A and B are shown apart, each in its own frame.
Chain A
Amino acid sequence: MSTNVDGGQSVAVSDVRKVDRVVIRFAGDSGDGMQLTGDRFTSEAAAFGNDLATLPNFPAEIRAPQGTLPGVSSFQLHFADYDILTPGDRPDVLVAMNPAALKANIGDVPHGGTVIVNTDEFNKRNLAKVGYESNPLEDDSLDKFQLHQVAMGTLTQGALADTGLGKKDADRCKNMFALGLLSWMYHRPTEGTERFLREKFGKKPELAEANILAFRAGWNYGETTEAFSVTYEVAPAKLAQGTYRQITGNTALAYGVVAAGQQAKLPVLVGTYPITPASDVLHELSKHKNFGILTFQAEDEIAGIGAALGASYGGALGVTSTSGPGVALKSETIGLGVMTELPLVVIDVQRGGPSTGLPTKTEQADLLQAMFGRNSESPVPIVAPCSPADCFDIALEATRIALTYRTPVLLLSDGAIANGSEPWLIPDVADLPDLSVRFATEPNAPDGSGEFWPYVRDPETLAREWAIPGTADLQHRIGGLEKQDGSGNISYDPDNHDKMVRLRQAKIDGVTVPDLTVDDPSNGEARVLALGWGSSFGPIGAACRRVRARGMPIAQAHLRHLNPLPANLGDVLASYDRVVVPEMNLGQLALLLRARYLVDVVSYTKVAGLPFKAEELQGVFTDIVTGAKETKA
């Protein structure tokens, strides 16, 4: 077992070895059920009490041609006996269901890693499909790995011989065989998976039984054959006290929206158009109509946000969810929300771009679109979750800002957070923030005319009053044309326009945002700050730990509020010799920081459609920390 970990140790105890962390990657054809297999192993690890993080990786095509490289789907899972931050850089164990899966993933497996292959698929045809000239199982190309060859298809067929299941159906159970084998190798509890399979195939009990049989056959294969001489134990993690569940970013985001509606005591209208990787937010929310959630699958992105804004105008919480291309289409309506000063939550689950780009891959390159992607001066607050579980809190925070300041808020998640999962310390609902709002009930015109003026502002928040249709005597008209300050009547007056542009900006600049906290275990010795935002929190944090473990101090801070930025950010930046900003874009946050604070941050960028690796950032940080030391000396 490879243990090139954060100080990880492996101790051989007869044939059971204890390790502190393991990264497993299940890889196969898109039709092989690798996402389900990974999900189940994740649930087992969660039920066992490990900390964990996951990274699904699948093609944009629903069924790419079978057995080809574009058709490979994989699921990586990192579980440990301590709190971990990332899904892991490299798999310690690769399960490859066919030659394409082996070819696509073997490059990531470190020297000495374990590779388990399904030999049944390694025939001439499949090998040729992916350009293997000779069978890698027969030549010496896999010598540097611990290779296990298992005829998973054949063994599964054998185990299911008596079930009367057709060959094709039986073969489809081989992913459960693989799961059973891995579950045995890592001493995982199995009841949960059996229960899950019974529920999943509730209407087809024969399929449930077949999958369970395959799962047990995999387990028994490990137990009875001597092909595997060692098994591994990863003890439960010592996480903070409380009750946990495993959660993906998109589910947490959906729960956050449900919670926001409840805490605001408002009905929620989710106006949305399906788009990868945000659709699961819609799917999840559509299940919770009992919470007063109305999901409206619109004819397009524009209608989705239009309906959400219309609902907000009527006094509901309007929410729209999409990805980058959808934000492009929604821009004009976001602008209308800025002008009419109505609350609106716009969720952007970012993906690779530009244009259609890489729908199933991650990227964080919509920051400047969120910030500036509308005509004219059109400021909106921007928040971003730093992990899957954080999506819940960030949805509440986005709603707080939207309701308090009557403004559209951009919430930037991304593909890695959306589909990745981690344990979540389930919050007590009683501790959630109160988001209740006050609608206008009285005429407010300062001239005592007894009229309602829609653009009279709260002196503290600069928010205008929210007078919803149906309120007697407050009839008023709003719209996209420039408004007279106060009365809200159409105004083309030059000075008024200048004033309104500045007022809208001041309102957003004045959004209260918690101060940025810096993590620096060296108590101020660190001269370098690693600053990030969004899903790179995990890799940046893991890299900082590694750098510190090697005796070099480095501070870390992470922005959850991108607009406005925390008030103390300028001071934080000024108190370090170097600030390094890793981003999965070409330096968008770095650009903002340089412009705003005149600080020459070091921008480290990569736009590969995959999260940063901790190892890679460790190298970057080490160089900078060493460099900073030298500069100083």
Chain B
Amino acid sequence: MTAIDLGLPQLGGLADVPTTDEPQKAKDYKSDQEVRWCPGCGDYIVLNAVQAFLPELGLKRENIVFVSGIGCSSRFPYYLNTYGMHSIHGRAPAIATGLAVTRPDLSVWVVTGDGDALSIGGNHLIHTLRRNVNLKILLFNNRIYGLTKGQYSPTSEEGKVTKSTPMGSLDHPFNPISLALGAEATFVARALDSDKKGLTEVLRQAAEHRGSALVEIYQNCPIFNDGAFDVLKDRDEAARRIIPLTDGEPIRFGPDGEYGVVRSGFGGLDVAKVSEVGEEGLVVHDATTDDPTYAFALSRLGDQALTHTVTGVFRNAPRTTYDDAARAQTAQAAEAKPADLQSLIRGNDTWTVS
């Protein structure tokens, strides 16, 4: 509930963005710029997935904007034939906020990385999420600083040996999903760069969500942190480790679906053998659960070592967006009082010299 009722209807994330009937193809979204990531970089796969997915939205291309910060992934806007701004380190959410608030007719996307979003831009990230500005944040997590050539990042594991930590890093890493949920983000999801289908599905739901959507994408950096997510890319390993979320279905995983997720302790969740708890003992996933505690508990099932990793949409619980509310206030004010500049500057207390 908002404290001030602005009478805002529930809308889709793209409700105000003009659409086109002209069929679009992935290549319509390719800019003429040569893509310059290292060979084998996970960013290529994500770029392809995004270019393939955007036509599906049927939006006018000119009404899509990608804003990025600094880092390898932040080159993203240059390669998309939409409007784009490659801004400064960590500040993309703030810049995108100003754009989204003033332009409801735009579909605004932020492309960022683990360093950009969680280190230098951590403050903007959490505040954007809590305000619930209608923009979509794609957080490419490769657990390393690539552009600056290989220092540990805020999602690197403890003890990581890098150029700046020859004796091992001392920092405890962030779990970006937990962090976003702590900020009460209304849409939080995770996907793997290699899983085009899963990634596309998450992007689709994010686009339709009205409000801030944080999508963490595990992305391989073959140059400075190769293989960080390899255990999730081996078919057998993946089956044992990945816990996929599907709304309305019991949460089950394992090569033969032999594992599931059950409630445990004080609001927590745990992994159990289905044979022991029974199908009916499993948690049925509901991303719209209003209390973020549930999604948070899901996020804690995974760990840095990727023994388990939850993928899919953790939370999709709509709440009034900051930009809708801000525009509604402005509209309300304009309705209540016409804009009369002369009378404003005149005020009530005047005197006349004749």
Contact = CB atoms under 8 A, between A and B. Distances in A.
B3 interface: no
A271 B98 contact: yes
Given A294-B326, A306-B95, A340 B102 contact: no
B46 to A, nearest CB: 18
A309 interface: yes
B94 A310 contact: yes
B97 interface: yes
B339 A314 contact: no
B105 A244 contact: no
Contacts of B169: none
B99 interface: yes
B250 interface: no
A47 B353 CA distance: 11
B62 interface: yes
B86 A470 contact: no
A92 to B, nearest CB: 24
Interface in B51-77: 60-63, 65, 67-68, 70, 77
Contacts of B105: 470
A246 B341 contact: no
B280 to A, nearest CB: 45
A43 interface: yes
Q: Which of A48, A340, A429 has the most CB of B within 10 A?
A: A429
A289 B338 CA distance: 10
A469 B99 CA distance: 10
B136 interface: no
A41 interface: no
Given A303-B97, A469-B65, A243 B352 contact: yes
Interface in A444-479: 469-479
A245 B347 contact: yes
A307 B103 CA distance: 12
Nearest to A266: B102
Given A262-B339, A269-B98, A300-B123, A470 B62 contact: yes
B306 interface: no
A267 interface: yes
Contacts of A333: 88, 91
Nearest to B106: A469
B82 interface: yes
A292 B83 CA distance: 25
Interface in A276-315: 288-294, 296, 298-300, 302-304, 306-315
Interface in B12-67: 31, 33, 60-63, 65, 67
Interface string B313-352: 0000000000000110110111011110110111101111
A469 B345 contact: no
A192 interface: yes
Contacts of A236: 353
Contacts of A258: 341, 344
A259 B344 CA distance: 10
B124 interface: yes
A124 to B, nearest CB: 43
A316 interface: yes
B182 to A, nearest CB: 15
A125 to B, nearest CB: 41
A552 interface: no
B345 A259 contact: yes
A346 to B, nearest CB: 14
Contacts of A534: none
A289 B330 contact: yes
Given A47-B351, A243-B346, A426-B346, A314 B334 contact: no
Contacts of A300: 123
B156 interface: no
Q: Which of A47, A244, A290 has the most CB of B within 10 A?
A: A290
Interface string A238-252: 111111111000000
A518 interface: no
B63 A294 contact: no
Nearest to B348: A245
A10 interface: no
Contacts of B100: 310
A368 interface: no
Given A46-B351, A307-B95, A318-B98, A292 B86 contact: no
Nearest to A489: B33
Contacts of B91: 302-303, 306, 332-333
A307 B88 contact: no
B83 to A, nearest CB: 4
Nearest to B76: A477
B199 to A, nearest CB: 23
B329 A246 contact: no
Contact of A241 (B98, B127, B339, B353): B353
A313 B78 contact: no
Nearest to B124: A303
Contacts of B338: 290
Contacts of A489: 33
A12 interface: no
B192 interface: no
Contacts of A318: 98
Given A290-B336, A306-B124, A479-B87, A267 B102 contact: yes
B354 interface: yes
Contacts of A288: 333, 344
A306 B98 CA distance: 7
A191 B339 CA distance: 30
A163 to B, nearest CB: 28
B96 interface: yes
A151 B90 CA distance: 60
A477 B96 CA distance: 14
Nearest to B63: A470
A6 B345 CA distance: 32
Given A241-B354, A289-B334, A314-B106, A477 B85 contact: yes
Contacts of A524: none
B349 A47 contact: yes
B124 A311 contact: no
Q: Which of B86, B123, B327 has the most CB of A within 10 A?
A: B86
B103 A314 contact: yes
A124 B290 CA distance: 62
Given A290-B338, A307-B97, A314 B124 contact: no
B305 to A, nearest CB: 33
A621 interface: no
B84 interface: yes
Nearest to B95: A310
B101 interface: yes
B319 to A, nearest CB: 18
Q: Which of A262, A299, A309, A332 has the most CB of B within 10 A?
A: A299
Contact of B341 (A47, A429, A469, A478): A429
Contacts of A306: 87, 91, 94-95, 97-98, 124
A191 to B, nearest CB: 12
Given A242-B353, A289-B333, A489-B33, A426 B345 contact: yes
Interchain residue pairs A-B with the least CB separation, the first 10: A479-B86, A310-B98, A306-B94, A307-B98, A289-B333, A310-B95, A303-B94, A299-B127, A311-B98, A469-B83
Interface of B: 31, 33, 60-63, 65, 67-68, 70, 77-78, 81-88, 91, 93-103, 105-106, 123-124, 127, 326-327, 329-330, 332-334, 336-339, 341-342, 344-347, 349-354
20 contacts: A49-B351, A49-B353, A240-B353, A242-B352, A245-B350, A290-B336, A291-B341, A302-B124, A303-B97, A306-B91, A309-B95, A310-B85, A310-B97, A310-B99, A426-B346, A428-B342, A429-B345, A472-B62, A475-B62, A475-B84
Given A315-B103, A429-B341, 13 more contacts: A46-B351, A258-B344, A299-B123, A299-B127, A303-B91, A307-B97, A309-B95, A310-B99, A310-B100, A311-B101, A316-B102, A429-B345, A477-B83
Interface of A: 43, 46-49, 192, 236, 238-246, 255, 258-259, 262, 267, 269, 271, 288-294, 296, 298-300, 302-304, 306-316, 318, 332-333, 335-336, 340, 392, 426-429, 469-481, 489-490
